[in-house]
Amino acid sequence: MFVGFDYGSANCAVGIMQGDDVQLLALSEQSAYLPSTLYAMDRELIAEAVYRGLPIELKADYAKKRAAQLSRARMVRHELDLDADVQAVFVGEQAVSAYLEMPEEGFYVRSPKSFLGATGLRPEQVALFEDIVTLMMQHIKVRAESVLVEKDLSKQGAAATITHAIIGRPVNFQGIGGEESNRQAESILTLAAKRAGFVDVDFLFEPLAAGMDYEATLTDNKTVLVVDVGGGTTDCSVVKMGPAHKQKADRSEDFLGHSGQRIGGNDLDIALAMNAFMPHFGLGSLMSNGKPMPSKAFWNAVAVNDISAQREFSTLSSRKLIDELVKEAEQPQLLNRLLKVQQQQLSYQLVRQAERAKIALSDAENTDINLDFIEAALHAGVSRNLFENAIEPSLTKVEALMHQALAQAAKTLAADGLAQDSVNHENISADNAAECKPDVIYVTGGTARSPAIYAKIAGIYPDIPVVVGDHFGSVTAGLTRWAQKLFAKH
């Protein structure tokens, strides 16, 4: 059976075709979306959980490659007094619940996709991310197949098996690293999918997938700028869409320009946590000598999508640094809060609260966020104006990506001799290249729900109509349609 598989930075989703319509499968009891999170009582237990879920033909090779981790997992179970059948690794909502219950005791990863293209990963780190993604994909595949059987959606009864998947990917997994980062990330995803039991997988740019879902509604041909602002990345694509294009099996000629960078909802949450919460932890306060408090420790405390920052923040030297700052601070009680974040590994909880503030500010000018897990009665007031100021640097990058995709599209059209009526000759981009003028801007991605983000995107080209898609489901729907088109002919 063929599926579209959105292995997202914030959430994961799986879709199947039901006639001409896409249906998302319920990956949790109440939702088609599974949070992209994993929690393990100990890091070494992840390999053990992967091994248990592997297809039988892959077990021997995996056991050889992960012999050390599997051996340590047995020792960890003994040390933690865990019986062999006790669940020790959790995915999705279960992972979030386990982390909130035991934040300082286990290993928690939010948005692992954000790390897959990271530069400088050591082989053991790549292996760890292979295992994390594999375990999540195993969980999702088993859950999706159980839904197929339960609802008899596959029309195969108990024999329902998902074999092929189109997996969404950002234009660029990492802002730096280029194609090497993209190859590394795709390699991790491909290996994980095979270990999870998929027979064959292929990839499709996420903004293109989102655009394909929109294209299914078009009755006229249009040039569309798709802006997909997701949890971990922002991707832009300029695509020729409509009745003359959507039946093509090969759409490469219709894709005029792409751009993408690791800027997404996670970055906005981090920026908000830094600006709204960290002043309550000492950011911007003074030391006893009158000098401003150094900011690096505060940034490391909230930079949950930066491996090096999180590694540095968790070290003993970081704890000693904060201890020294407490002694030198004019307001030591504030720095003691930062020390608690470091000691109890509460960074993810802080950023999670920033995400809640971001969501609340979609419908309100102000919100009050409870931080009593740090200190009794501690609250932080957050305004929409503060949020907009905090995320302005990120939104400036989103604007640059839109210009970049349109400039690339203009060059593509010019090279094809088709630019006469399709190019806006205002010199907007940095290199004075003309930009392709789209007929419509299609905005999707969970992060784009924010009025501040929508207003920024709509204000860049005020004379071009903006269509808002399904913020969460459009990518999965497009991936599903492409899976049917690509794999059905085999």
Q: Domain 218-264+394-468: which topology?
A: Nucleotidyltransferase; domain 5 (3.30.420)
pLDDT digits (tens, 9 = 90+) for 254-272: 889 988 888 888 899 999 9
Domain with CATH 3.30.420.40 in the chain: 2-198, 218-264+394-468
Give the model's pLDDT for residue 59: 96
What top-level class would CATH report for the domain 2-198?
Answer: alpha beta
Question: Could you write out the three-class secondary structure of the chain?
Answer: CEEEEEECCCEEEEEEEECCEEEECCCCCCCCCEECEEEECCCCHHHHHHHHHCCHHHHHHHHHHCHHHHHHHHHHHHHCCCCCCCCCEEECHHHHHHHHHCCCCCEEEECHHHHCCCCCCCHHHHHHHHHHHHHHHHHHHHHHHHHHHHHCCCCCHHHCCCCEEEEEECCCCCCCCHHHHHHHHHHHHHHHHHHCCCCEEEEEEHHHHHHHHHHCCCCCCEEEEEEEECCCCEEEEEEEECCCCCCCCCCHHHEEEEEEECCCHHHHHHHHHHHHHHHHHCCCCEECCCCECCCHHHHHHHCCCCHHHHHHHCCHHHHHHHHHHHHHECCHHHHHHHHHHHHHCCHHHHHHHHHHHHHHCCCCCEEEEECCCCCCCCEEEEEHHHHHHHHHHHHHHHHHHHHHHHHHHHHHHHHCCCCCCCEECCCCCCCCCCEECCCEEEEECHHHHCHHHHHHHHHHCCCCCEEECCCCCHHHHHHHHHHHHHHCCC
Q: What is the pLDDT along the chain (490 residues), one digit of tens a residue?
A: 999 999 988 889 999 998 888 999 999 888 999 999 999 999 999 999 999 999 999 999 999 999 999 999 999 999 999 998 899 999 999 998 888 888 778 898 988 998 899 888 999 999 999 999 999 999 999 999 999 988 776 554 445 799 999 999 988 887 555 789 999 999 999 999 999 999 999 999 888 888 887 888 899 999 999 998 888 888 898 999 999 988 887 777 888 998 888 888 889 999 999 999 999 999 999 999 999 999 999 999 999 888 788 889 989 999 999 999 999 999 999 999 999 999 998 998 999 999 999 999 988 999 999 999 999 999 999 999 999 999 999 999 999 999 999 999 999 988 876 544 554 444 334 443 588 999 999 988 777 778 888 888 889 999 999 988 766 688 899 999 999 888 876 5
Express each pLDDT in 195-252 by its tens digit: 999 999 999 988 888 888 788 889 999 999 999 888 888 889 899 999 998 888 777 7
